[in-house]
Chain A
Amino acid sequence: MPGGGRCPDCGSTELVEDSHYSQSQLVCSDCGCVVTEGVLTTTFSDEGNLREVTYSRSTGENEQVSRSEQRGLRRVRDLCRVLQLPPTFEDTAVAYYQKAYQHSGIRAARLQKKEVLVGCCVLITCRQHNWPLTMGTICTLLYADLDVFSGAYMKLVKLLGLDVPSLCLAELVKTYCSSFKLFQASPSVPARYVEDKEKMLSRTLQLVELADETWLVTGRHPLPVITAATFLAWQSLQPSYRLSCSLAQFCKLANVDLPHPASTRLQELLAVLLRMAKQLAWLQVLKLDKRSVVKHIGDLLQHRHTLVRTAFREGTAEMETQEKELQGRGQGEEVGNSSLGLPQGKRPASPALLLPPCMLKPRKRICPTPAVSTVTGDESISDSEIEQYLRTPQEVRDFQRAQAAGQAATSVPNPR
């Protein structure tokens, strides 16, 4: 609570502003003691509990500020309160909005832009304090289009010359996972599906770190990766009961939207885990597939650093194309060159290339580099070449006739 007041009776800081018959009072929510009554006080202790009135609430400031700016500033404060941000964030966001408003381009922008600008200021404030707020959340709250938001955001950052840090992945994991409604039994969540929050959080965090290390996060939207990681973490904590639940069902019962790329991320993450599993001797013999590997995620995560180091090796695009060629020619017996690495005997599989999925996919047909043209730009242009683009008089007449017929057809009012 602002002012840092404490109840003189019980000493708690939980002071609530209440109004008793239109007289505002400051009341302790623990013991009910009335700390201050109204504005006029007589005792010294009462005066010590007076709450300050912010300048923005007083009448002086608003006279210099235009109405649309006032509206914008109010929207900024409202947004901060809706998101339950700490009070210091509000002041910073307001300061950014005021700074932006000093630029004529912003003052002249449409209302839609100004609305979106509110979200941009709040987002920048959150990013600078490592508060994990995604653009999707803000767009949903503002009923704004992501394209409009992104344009306004990039322009604002450039205009104000700000250094905006990246989204903090660890914080986002914590916030996002906590929003899953799986930690208490309810009519929609069977008992077997309920999970301990801390265990799920730590395992999800480990899976997201693993994804980051194996190039599944760079360049991609962070949220679907976290969704996939949360699902795998939840499944792996009690695989016997939960393997039958699909990703879509999981999101539905957790009351969270399923982002579209999450299923692809899930497959990629499972592929990484399978490669790591091939390095563990006791898992090799089990011939794991994408479903059974979930049971062993705990073990794999425990040794993930070693496993990633042994299961993968650094590579370049050239090595990738070479290996694909070799496989294509059926020389997969060379264990050293095969990236599929089926285990021969008891030897762990040879390392696969650690590359982002876009570099591992089969290469599209490469456009041949265009032959060097000997065009000088000043060559003579033949008449015949130009004539091919022009209509003959007959064609012009036909075209005009067709156009007139088309217009007549559309202009005739439809009797129906």
Chain B
Amino acid sequence: MPSAPRRAPRPLALGSPQPPTAGPLPMDEETYLELYLDQCAVQDDLVPPRSPLFSPVVPYVYPPNPSNPETTFNSHLESKETSGDFSSVDLSFLPDEFTQENKEQAVIRSKHEIEENCETQSQQSRLPLPSGQDVGPGLDSSSLSSSRSHLHPGDANSIQSSPEKANSNPSPLASITPMTPMTPVSECSGIVPQLQNIVSTVNLACKLDLKKIALHAKNAEYNPKRFAAVIMRIREPRTTALIFSSGKMVCTGAKSEEQSRLAARKYARIVQKLGFPARFLDFKIQNMVGSCDVRFSIRLEGLVLTHQQFSSYEPELFPGLIYRMVKPRIVLLIFVSGKVVLTGAKERSEIYEAFENIYPILKGFRKA
């Protein structure tokens, strides 16, 4: 992630742009964020800085139209790259009287609406993105996917042309307020759950002699009477693995998907060095646990009353409320102090999505 918000625009030669996915691609999202910041750096010269650089919603950050990759990203260099792409934009929400120019203005204004909505909402709880925290790609994947229809990357250059157009076309229709964005962007919480634990499995595809492994490896413990697997630990990434004689392995304790994969590979390498023909097949993340803090106290009794079909609150058994969200299928533990634990995810985006779903519900119980 760039540490400074402003960087000189550079010609961007990306590889083949990938099709939009709903799943998390943290690395790709970071690259897209860089692109967005580059564009903003240029646009800041032309347009008064209305667009918040650090807004979690980045309407421009989305894979471009596969048909013309270069033109969209080099658009800031060629201001003549005009709005010919508007044909692919779905502007059906606008009244029919709109001309092409007014369409541009209305779309531009709606984009600014979205940015301002999010800006005012997230003013207090703004996360400085360049400081290195994960943007949380899944945070707005739903909003992005739905707003994509009327926010075309090609509009990036139309911002530059808007000042001229606004002056030259004082059409009465231009003052019509744009439609509200399709997704309630004003609800974004600005809090990102931190991943605490990742559980993954991998198949080493060979029979293992656990006694031999326990004998030759310093970091292994094996007590067949207690449990039929070797428990092995490594220091970097700090993880624990259960290695079974069938060749299957479970790796726990990593804080990110990549760390889990690296750790699993290290365990496989250790088993290889011990003389077994270990391979690395079917690596799969089975469970992800995240946690965060909403920073206000929550009336759990009230929450269980209104969301009875999802919640289970038994203070005699456990101090937290167990909320079983249906979509995405995540279990949340909600405590009176405002701390929330999310578990049961197979992907990072599920955790972010679940938290964004629960945050408005919890805010409703803020005032006792």
Binding site for B on A (CB under 8 A): 134-136, 146, 150, 153-154, 157, 163, 166-167, 213, 215, 217-222, 314, 316-318, 354-356, 358-359, 369-373, 375-379, 381, 385-391, 395-396, 399-400
Contact = CB atoms under 8 A, between A and B. Distances in A.
Which has the most chain A C-beta neighbours within 10 Å: B236, B259, B301, B315? B315
Nearest to B271: A386
Nearest to B237: A375
B32 interface: no
A381 B266 contact: yes
Contact of A219 (B133, B269, B293, B320): B320
A392 to B, nearest CB: 10
Interface of B: 1, 27, 132-134, 194, 215-219, 234, 236-237, 255-262, 265-266, 269-270, 273-274, 293, 295-297, 299-301, 304-305, 308-309, 312-320, 335-338, 367-368
Given A135-B317, A163-B308, A375 B217 contact: no
Contacts of A150: 314, 317-318
B266 A373 contact: no
Contacts of B215: 391, 396, 399-400
B279 to A, nearest CB: 15
A377 B312 contact: no
A373 B300 contact: no
Given A356-B297, A386-B269, A136 B316 contact: yes
Contact of B300 (A218, A369, A371): A218
Given A222-B315, A390-B217, A373 B256 contact: yes
29 contacts: A135-B317, A146-B317, A150-B318, A163-B308, A166-B313, A167-B316, A217-B315, A218-B315, A219-B335, A220-B315, A318-B295, A354-B368, A355-B297, A358-B335, A358-B336, A370-B194, A376-B27, A377-B260, A377-B265, A381-B269, A385-B236, A386-B273, A389-B217, A389-B218, A389-B219, A389-B234, A391-B215, A391-B218, A396-B216
A385 B236 CA distance: 9
A277 to B, nearest CB: 22
Contacts of B299: 218
Contacts of B27: 376
A132 to B, nearest CB: 12
Contacts of B320: 219
Nearest to B305: A166
Contacts of A379: 262
A25 B145 CA distance: 79
Given A317-B337, A359-B337, A369-B133, 14 more contacts: A146-B317, A153-B317, A154-B317, A219-B319, A220-B315, A314-B367, A317-B293, A317-B296, A317-B338, A369-B194, A375-B256, A381-B262, A386-B270, A399-B215
B314 to A, nearest CB: 8
B316 A134 contact: yes
Nearest to B308: A163
Say what secondary structure dominates the interface of chain A: loop
A167 B257 CA distance: 41
A361 to B, nearest CB: 10
A385 B309 contact: no
Given A154-B312, A356-B336, A371-B132, A166 B304 contact: yes
Contact of B297 (A146, A217, A359, A378): A359
B259 A377 contact: yes
B137 to A, nearest CB: 14
A215 B309 contact: no
A377 B266 contact: no
Contacts of A386: 266, 269-270, 273
A372 B293 contact: no
Contacts of A317: 293, 295-296, 337-338
A218 B317 contact: no
Nearest to A151: B317
Given A316-B295, A359-B297, A377-B262, A390 B218 contact: yes
B24 to A, nearest CB: 14
A372 B266 contact: no
B219 A215 contact: no
B259 A390 contact: no
A372 B295 contact: no
B338 A372 contact: no
B150 to A, nearest CB: 33
A369 B236 CA distance: 17
B261 to A, nearest CB: 4
A375 B295 contact: no
Contacts of B309: 163
A389 B338 CA distance: 41
Contact of B216 (A146, A376, A390): A390
A71 B183 CA distance: 57
A354 to B, nearest CB: 8
A61 to B, nearest CB: 34
A385 B312 CA distance: 46
